[in-house]
């Protein structure tokens, strides 16, 4: 299994998986059923900001949905 994600962020795969795991286990996200919205926003953020890390994109998703 690769230890780094492709791209220029230098973020490790473990860091990326950890960031996604935080979304899927966050009480507010889960209680409101907002997993897809937060992750979808994170994907859009990464497309618009190709140097962003997954953690930064996830944070943007939380902010966008006020969670």
**pLDDT by residue (tens digit) across 24-63?**
899 999 999 999 999 999 999 999 999 999 999 999 999 9
Look at 30 and 5; give whichever has higher pLDDT: 30
Residue 3: which pLDDT band, with cuts at 50, 70 and 90? very low
Phi, psi of 4 (to 5 degrees): -135, 155
How many separate domains does the chain show?
1
CA atoms of 34 and 6, how far apart (whole Å): 27
Per-residue model confidence (pLDDT) at position 7:
52
| 17 is a domain residue | yes
Question: What is the separation of C-alpha 1 from the centre of its chain, rounded to a whole number of angstroms?
Answer: 20
- Containing domain of residue 24, as a range? 13-51
Question: What is the separation of C-alpha 55 from the centre of its chain, rounded to a whole number of angstroms?
Answer: 5
Q: Do residues 61 and 41 touch, judged by C-beta distance below 8 A?
A: yes
Look at 51 and 9; give whichever has higher pLDDT: 51
């Amino acid at each position: 299994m690769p230890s780094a994600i492709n791209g220029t962020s230098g973020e490790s795969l473990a860091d990326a998986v950890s960031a996604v795991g935080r979304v899927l286990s966050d009480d507010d996200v889960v209680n409101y059923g907002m997993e897809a919205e937060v992750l979808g926003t994170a994907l859009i953020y990464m497309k618009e900001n190709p140097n962003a890390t997954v953690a930064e994109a996830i944070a943007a998703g939380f902010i966008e949905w006020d969670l």
